[in-house]
Amino acid sequence: MSDMKSKLANRRAQQQASEPKPTFVQTQGSAEQTKRTSYDLPVSVHRRLKLAAAESDRTQVSILIEALEAWHAKQA
């Protein structure tokens, strides 16, 4: 039984070690934990987003967050 507990403890430790550490994003003055997502974008949209990020010295994510927050504010 002790051997089983040891194996389970080792498995949990390996899973926790392999899980990515949480990251944080700065939004309107407070650091907020992030959640990794994946979306398919049309190639033309991705190109424009990538170009806009490079031209404005920002990350693509920061532009997407800003756009989504603006869209959400209009919906309220």
Residue 25: per-residue pLDDT? 63
Question: Is residue 5 very low, low, confident or very high in pLDDT (cuts 50, 70, 90)?
Answer: confident
Please report, as a single letter, which amino acid is at residue 12. R
Of residues 57 and 12, more confidently modeled: 57
Residue 7: per-residue pLDDT? 79
Q: What is the pTM of this model?
A: 0.61
SS (H, E, C) the chain: CHHHHHHHHHHHHHHHHHCCCCCEEEECCEEEECCCCCCCCCHHHHHHHHHHHHHHCCCHHHHHHHHHHHHHHHHC
Mean residue pLDDT of the chain comes to 85
Question: Is residue 51 very low, low, confident or very high in pLDDT (cuts 50, 70, 90)?
Answer: very high
76, two tokens: 């309220």
Residue 21: per-residue pLDDT? 64
Give the residue from 29, 24, 52 showing the smallest Cα distance to 67. 52
